[in-house]
Structures are given as structure tokens and as C-alpha cells.
Amino acid sequence: MKLSFSQSSISKFKLHITGSKSISNRYLILKAQFPNIELSGLSDCDDTRVLHKALTTLKEKGDEIDIHHAGTAMRFLTAYLSSLPNLEVVLKGSKRMHERPIGILVEAMRELGGHIKYLGSEGFPPLKIHGKSLQKDKISIPASVSSQYITALMLIAPSFKNGLTIYLQSKVTSKPYLMMTAASLKSIGVEVDLQESHIQVHPKTKIEPKTIAVESDWSSASYFYSCLALMDQGEFELSTFQKNSLQGDSKVAEFYKLFGIETRFKGDSILISKKAGVLLPEKIELDLNDTPDLAQTIAVTCLGLNIACNLTGLHTLKVKETDRLVALKTEIEKFGAEVEISNESLQLSPKANLKESVSVQTYQDHRMAMAFAPLAIKVDLTILNPEVVSKSFPDFWEKIKALGIQQNR
């Protein structure tokens, strides 16, 4: 899809963004255990739809569940299904999902008494799961590969007779996602104690009826921060967001101050604004260990603004929808800039005049498409396989069209 930009005469835009996929998927697993949770504002993205479908059409025996590209669905279901006695299912995903590691979680489930078999390569999906009643109350788990393994355990822990204490080995990655899980559990009345070295989740068999309104997705909002950063000036109103967000990616508001963007809250919306002529830094340095999903957005904003960047804390990027470090290097360099990557960092040496009419490969990764799209504000480009955005943000293209980004198939 070819993208170009025609400056719109409207300088103020109002957009609603779909629900957070991370919050949606946590509450779907909780609702499966506590049906008196009512949910509103669930994400309409693929990752939430596949999880919802799996949970609402679950059969006891012979079921085969395909969660496509959804990492959270794969990890959360591995734990949840293992904890349902008498269940026998195959859990599989896309080709890429079968390359994303799950051994740490499978080991933990086995230690807790779960029965899981690998149907392909050792340590990777697809899995054959025989549900069991899980009894232990303690487990140790490496925490530096994916926080989703730990969230998966936390979400089923209330059903354990004595709850579960999870000891965290090695440096914790994506920690705000664990805080989100703890907050989700607490919101329905489960007691959780989250410490540096361990997390204790107390048992719970019944909860009071509860209605949860899912906040919009801050990771999705990041692409509008990037659009505004690449425009001369403007103001966007994005809904629905709250000041004390459960989402770590709300940090985007702080990060984009570096690019001259101010964020204000107005009721349940955020107003993000940029004035003409703001002074920009020559270089930025950020540790994104807590917010890995913002890495692509920030790297491309820097590319468009001719700002050098040194992004660290990126060691999980190589096991996401694609190897995002290699994908970023390959695609950014097509525009004429230089990128150096290590196992956990990316350094961008920018280029003043970007190459025109580049075709950006998206590698089945929604965030590659959405991170590069705002660059159309600076230079015409083509995004290959634009439909990948539906993983987290199905109406992304309609929404950025409203800002003046023209699209030709």
C-alpha cells in the first residue's frame, strides 16, 4: 500500500482507539474462572478475538486451538488449560508462533504438576496439554525472557488451594506488564503481593460481581504520538484513557516530550499537542526494558526527525512477532540511515534527506507496519502487507487516513 501525505486543513483531530489487548486478554482469562465479571470496551483486535473464541468454544477432548500470532493467548492458555482437570487439547499457532520460545513456562507448569507434551521442537509450540488439578504453592521461574510466562501463572494462581508464590530469577523484563496483571487481579478482589524477588497471589474461589471498562491501548496511541512528532504542529484528542493507567506504555507521554509533544488529560481523553518551531535534541538515549513495544515507534520517529538514538533494554525484541532488531535495521537502512544492533540495543545514525519510495517489509509484524506508516508525513513510501495491523489495531489505516495520510493499494 502506497502512502503519501497531504497536509489537512483540519489541525485538530478526535479519535477513539480500541481497548488495550493486554488488559482485554488478562480479563478474558479471569472471566473464564470468575464468570460474574462483566467486560466493556474489549479490544476488537485479532489477538483478543482468538482468545475469546478459544475460551468460549472450548471442548473437553480432541479440541485443537489455533491462536495464530497471539503471544499472550499462547502463554496464558498454556497455563490456564493445564489447570483444567480432564481437558485434553492441542494448542498451536502460526509458523512464527512455533518459533517463539515457551520452554520456561512449560517447565514451570510441569513442576506444578501439569502434563504438557511438545508436538514439534522441544521448547516451542505446538503443545498437547492434558489438564490436571495443580497442587503446589511455590515455583521459581527465569524472568528475563518474557513477562507473559509469569502473568500466565499469576492469572491461574487464585484457583490453587493455597495460592501461589512465584520466585523471580534473573532480571525481570517488561515489569509494568506484571504490575498490570497484579492490578487486574486486585481489581476483582484477589490479594497480590508484588516484590522485586517474588510475587505472592492468594487463593480465591468466589468474587463479588464486577464490571470492568477496558482502557484504550497506549501502545496503539504511540503511533499518533509519532505522527504528531513528524508534523510541524497540531493537536489530537485520543480516547479513552486514564491518568493512572495500568499500561506501562503510557510512558509514551513522557518519552514524546523529548520530541516536543505535550500530553494533557481532559475527562477520559488525552490531548496531545505540538507547537511549531520546537527545539529538538540531536540525540536521545532510552532504556526500553519496561516498554519493549515502543521501540519500533521511537526508532522510526527518530529516523523521520533526523535524531540519533541509542535504545537499550531490547533483548526481548528478537523473540517477538519477528526479530524486530534485524527487521528495524534492514528497513531503516533502506531510507539511507545507518543502524547498529546488538542483542539488546539499537543505535541509529540518521540521515538528513531520506530516500523516497522505499518499500517497507513488515514480516507479519503489526508494529513494523504501524511504526513506519507515520514516516509518510516526511516521505512517500510503501508498506507491504498492511493487513498485519489487525493483530492489535484493526482500524489503524482508517484512523491515520483522518490525519491526512493518503493510501493507495
Ligand X SMILES: O=C(O)C1=C[C@@H](OP(=O)(O)O)[C@@H](O)[C@H](O)C1
Ligand Y SMILES: C=C(OP(=O)(O)O)C(=O)O
Least spacing, CB of residue 364 vs ligand Y, in Å: 11
Q: Can you tell me which of 109, 392, 400, 405 binds ligand Y, judged by CB under 6 A? A: 392
Part in contact with ligand X (CB under 6 A); list of ranges 89-97, 145-153, 155-163, 259-267: 145-153
Residues within window 169-208 making contact with ligand X, judged by CB under 6 A: 173-174, 177
Q: How far is CA 146 from CA 151, 163, 191, 316, in A?
A: 9, 22, 23, 7
Is residue 70 near ligand Y by the rule CB under 6 A?
yes
Residues within window 92-121 making contact with ligand X, judged by CB under 6 A: none
Query: Does residue 330 contact residue 339 with C-beta atoms inside 8 Å?
Result: no
47, 217, 249, 293: the active-site residue = 293
CA dihedral 120, 123, 126, 130 (to 10 degrees): 110
In whole angstroms, give the CA distance from residue 182 to residue 190: 9
Least spacing, CB of residue 126 vs ligand X, in Å: 19
Q: Is 147 annotated as a binding residue?
A: yes
Beta carbons within 10 angstroms of residue 307's beta carbon: 19
Kindly report the CA angle at 17 between 11 and 23, in degrees rounded to 5? 150
Set of cell numbers at residue 196: 522485586
Q: Can you tell me which of 126, 292, 386, 404 binds ligand X, judged by CB under 6 A? A: 292
Is residue 367 near ligand Y by the rule CB under 6 A?
yes
x/- track of binding to ligand Y for residues 282-321 (CB under 6 A): -----------x--------------------------xx
Is residue 72 near ligand X by the rule CB under 6 A?
yes
Give the residue with the Cβ less far from ligand X, 43 or 173: 173
Question: Which residue intervals of 319-360 are DSSP H helices?
Answer: 324-333
Q: Which residue is nearest to ligand Y (CB)?
A: 71
Query: Does residue 162 contact residue 136 with C-beta atoms inside 8 Å?
Result: no
Residue 293 a catalytic site member: yes
Cell 506488564 -> residue? 177
Query: Does residue 386 contact residue 396 with C-beta atoms inside 8 Å?
Result: no
Query: Does residue 150 contact residue 139 with C-beta atoms inside 8 Å?
Result: no
Q: How long a stretch of residues is the chain?
A: 409
Q: Which of ligand Y, ligand X, none lies near 177, with the C-beta cut-off 5 to 8 A by kind?
A: ligand X
Is residue 175 near ligand Y by the rule CB under 6 A?
no
In whole angstroms, give the CA distance from residue 226 to residue 212: 30
In whole angstroms, give the CA distance from residue 288 to residue 373: 21
Is residue 71 near ligand Y by the rule CB under 6 A?
yes
Residues that bind ligand Y (CB under 6 A): 69-72, 293, 320-321, 367, 392
State the binding site: 21-22, 26, 71, 100, 146-148, 174, 293, 320, 324, 367, 391
Residues that bind ligand X (CB under 6 A): 22, 72, 146-148, 151, 173-174, 177, 292-293, 316
Residues that are catalytic: 293
State the binding site for 3-phosphoshikimate: 21-22, 26, 146-148, 174, 293, 320
